Amino acid sequence: MFLETIPETSNYMIAGYAFAFVIMGIYVFSMYLRNANLKRDIETLESLQSEKSKRSSSSKKK
Amino acid sequence: MQPRPLALKILDFASVIVLGVATYLALVFAPTEAVMGQVQRVFYFHIGTAWVGLLGFILAAAAGIAYLVTKDMRWDRFEVAAVEVSTVFFFITIVLGSIWARPAWNTWWTWDPRLTTAAITELIYIAYFMLRQGIDDPEKRARFGAVYTLLGGVSAPITFMVIRLFRSIHPIVIGAANGTQEKMNMTSDMRVAFFFGLFAFTIIFIDMMWHRIRLGALEEKVEQLKLTVSM
Amino acid sequence: MANKSESKKQKAESLHPSFFKATLAIIQKDLSAEFRSFELISAMLVFSLLVIIIFNFALELDIKVRQSVTSGVLWTTFAFAGTLGLNRSMSVEKDRGCMDGLLLAPVDRSVIYFGKAISNLIFMLIVEGIVLPVYSVLYNVNLFRFDLLGVILLGSIGYAAVGTLLSTMSAQTRTREVLLPILLFPVAMPVLLASVKASNGLLAGAEFAEVLTPINLLIVYDVIFIAIAFMVFDFVVEE
C-alpha cells in the first residue's frame, strides 16, 4: 500500500473502544447484580432457617 | 459474606487507574499508524484482552488438573472464575479484531487460524457452562467441569496447528515473520502503549478473577443454605 | 499377564480378569447386544444415507463440485452419525442400569472405557464400511484406497476416543442427548479438520508425503486423547 494520506478509519476505532468498554461495563454490572441477588437469597434463607429452628424447638411435631 | 479485604479494594482502585492510563496511551500517546490510520489503535486493547483471555484459558486447565488431584472446591471456584472472565475478554478480542479487519482486510471475518481458534475456544467455554448447568450435584459439576477444561485446553492448540495448514493472513506481532505474512512495525511510543496495555489488562484480569471467586463462594453458601432449609 | 506358576495369582486372575480379557468381554457384550437388534447401526446407517441425499441437493454435487467437497461431505456425515451412535450406546447403558453393573464389576475402570470406546469405534467403522461403497457407486469415485482408509481409521479412532469420554459425561446431565454434540464438536475439531484436509489431499491426487502433516497431527491427537481419557475416565464415572 503506497497511500500518501492516512486512511480515515476513526469511526472503526471509536466503535471498537466503545464496544470494549460497554462489554466490560456489562460484565462488572452483571457481577454486581448477581452479588446483590445472592446476598438477598442468603438473608431470606437465613431468616427461614431461624424460623424453622424456632418452630421445631417450640413443638416436637413439624 | 466478609467485607472486601483491603488488598482487593486497592486492586479495584488500581484497575480503574491502569485502565484509564492504558486508554490514554492507546488513544492519545501512541502515534497514528501510517498504513492503517486511527483504527490501528484498537490493536492495543485487542492484544491486551487476547493475552488475558489466553492466560485465563491456561489457568482454567491448570485449575482443572489441580481440582482432580486435590478435590478441593476452591480450585473449582478458581476454574469457573478463570473461564468466565476470559470468556468476556476473548469476546472483546474477537470483536475488536473483527472491527480492525474490516478496513484492513476489507472483510469482517476470515477463516484464519488465530481467528478460528479464538472462535472455537469461545465455543468450548460456552459448552463448558452448558455442561455445568445440566448437573445439580456440585461435586459432580466440579469434576466434569475440570475434565472438560482439561480436554479443551489440550485440543485448542492442536486445532490451531491444524488450521494453520489451511492458510493465514493474520499479522505476526511478536517473533519472526515469514515471507507471506506482514509484520507490524512498532515505534518506541507504540511499544510503550503496547506493553502497558498488557500490564493493565493483567491487573484488571486479576481483579475480576478475585471478584468472581468471591461470588463463587457466595453461590456455594446459598446452595448449602438451600439444602439445610429444605431438609 | 500374571505369573502362571503361582496358584494364588491364578485364583485372583479368575476373580479379577486381565485387562485385555475384561475389555474383550465388554466389547463382546456390546456387539452381541447390537447384532441381535441392529438398533444402533441401522439408525446410524439410515441417517448417514439421508445426510448424503440432503448434501446431494443442497450442494448440487455435480462432477466439478464433487471433487472438492467429497471428503467434507463424508466427514460431516461420519461426525453426525457418530454422535447419534455415541449418544445411543451410552444412554442404553444408563437407562437399563447396565452402567452400575459394569462399575460394580471387579475390573479397573479404564477397562470400561476401552471396552466402550472400541465397540463405539467398531460401530462407526461398520457404518463407514457401508457408506463408503454406496458413495463410491452413487458418485463414481473410488474411495477404496489404503491411504484414504488409513486416514478414515485414524480419524474415527480419535473421534470415538473423545466421544466415548464425553458421552459418558453428557449421559449423566439433565440435557443429555442435546449436550453431546455441543461438547464434542469443539473438542473434536482437530480430528475433523485434519481428516478432511488429509482426505481432500489424497482425493485430489496428492502424494502421500504431501498430506503427512495432517496425518501426523491426527496421530498426535489420537495418542494424546486416548491417554487423557484413560487417565480421567475414573473421574467421570465416580459416584
pLDDT of B99? 87
Physical contact, A and C (3 or more Cβ pairs within 8 A): no
Does a structural domain hold residue C4?
A: no
Cell numbers at residue C180, please? 453431546
What tens digit of pLDDT does each residue of C192-231 get? 999 998 998 888 887 888 888 899 999 999 999 999 999 9
Cβ-defined contact of C197 to B136 (cutoff 8 Å): no
| Closest-CA distance of chain A to residue B212, Å | 7
Q: Where are the domains of chain B?
A: 6-171+184-230
C-alpha cell at C50: 439421508
Min Cα–Cα distance to chain C from B127, Å: 6
Question: A37-46, B43-52, C55-64, C195-204: which has the minimum mean pLDDT?
Answer: C55-64
Residues of B with CB under 8 A from a CB of C: 68, 120, 123-124, 126-127, 130-131, 133-136, 140, 143-144, 146-148, 150-152, 154-155, 158-159, 161-163, 165-166
Closest Cα partner for C120 from C95, C148, C157?
Answer: C157
**Which residues of chain A lie closer than 8 angstroms to B16, CB-CB?**
none
Provide the residue range defining the domain that includes C78: 20-237
Give me the percent of chain A exceeding a pLDDT of 70. 82
User: DSSP characters for C80-133?
Assistant: HHHHHHHHHHHHHHHHTTHHHHHHHSSS-HHHHHHHHHHHHHHHHHHHHHHHHH
Provide, as residue numbers in chain B, all residues whose Cβ is less than 8 Å from the Cβ of A39: 1, 218
- B229 vs A19: CB contact, 8 Å cut-off? no
Contact list in B for residue A3 (CB cut-off 8 A) is: 35
The more confident residue out of C152 and B162 is C152
Sign of CA pseudo-dihedral B37, B39, B41, B46: negative
pLDDT for res B170: 65
Below-50 pLDDT ranges, chain C:
1-5
Q: Would you list which residues of chain B are within 8 Å, Cβ to Cβ, of chain A?
A: 1, 23, 27, 32, 34-42, 45, 49, 85, 88, 91-92, 95-96, 99-100, 102-103, 204, 208, 211-212, 215, 218-219, 221-222, 225-226, 228-229
Helix (H, G, I), strand (E, B) or coil at B172: strand
At B73-95, the pLDDT tens digits run 999 999 999 999 999 999 999 99
Chain Cα centroid distance, residue A29:
4
- H helix intervals, B107-187: 113-133, 138-164
> Which H/E stretch holds residue A20?
helix A10-58
Across B4-13, B165-174, C187-196, C217-226, least confident range: B165-174
How many whole angstroms separate alpha carbon C145 and alpha carbon C161? 24
In a domain, C173, yes or no: yes
Largest CA distance in chain B: 68
DSSP label of B179:
T
Task: Using an 8 Å CB-CB cutoff, list chain C residues near B155.
Answer: 186-190, 221, 225
CB atoms within 10 A of CB C106: 9
Residues 6+ apart with CB under 8 A from A6: B32, B34, B37, B38
- Between CA C38 and CA B164 the distance in angstroms is 41
- Give C55 to chain B, closest Cα distance, Å: 22
With bands split at pLDDT 50, 70 and 90, how would you rate the model's confidence at B187? confident
State the pTM of this model.
Answer: 0.87
Contact C160, C30 (CB under 8 A): no
- Domain total in chain C: 1
Chain B contact present for C213, CB below 8 A? yes
Q: Distance, in angstroms, between B208 CA and closest chain A CA? A: 8
Three-state SS string over C146-163 comes to HHHHHHHHHHHHHHHHHH
Cβ contact, residue pair B131, C217, below 8 Å: no
Query: Is C12 part of a structural domain of the chain?
Result: no
Q: Which of B52, B92, B107 has the highest number of chain A CBs within 10 A, making it the mutation to test binding with A?
A: B92
User: Is residue C45 domain-resident?
Assistant: yes
Q: Which of C183, C190, C238 sits opposite B158 (nearest CB)?
A: C190
CB-side exposure of C144: number of CA atoms within 13 Å? 9
Residue C4: the pLDDT is: 45
pLDDT > 50? residue B3: yes
State the pLDDT confidence band at B180, using cuts at 50, 70 and 90: very low
Show Cβ contacts of residue B29 under 8 Å, excluding neighbours closer than 6 positions: B189, B192, B193
Contact B37/A52, CB-based, under 8 Å? no
Taking the CA atoms of C190, C40, C29 and C35 in sequence, report the sign of the dihedral they define: negative
CA distance A51 to chain B (A): 10
Cα of B190 to nearest chain A Cα, Å: 16
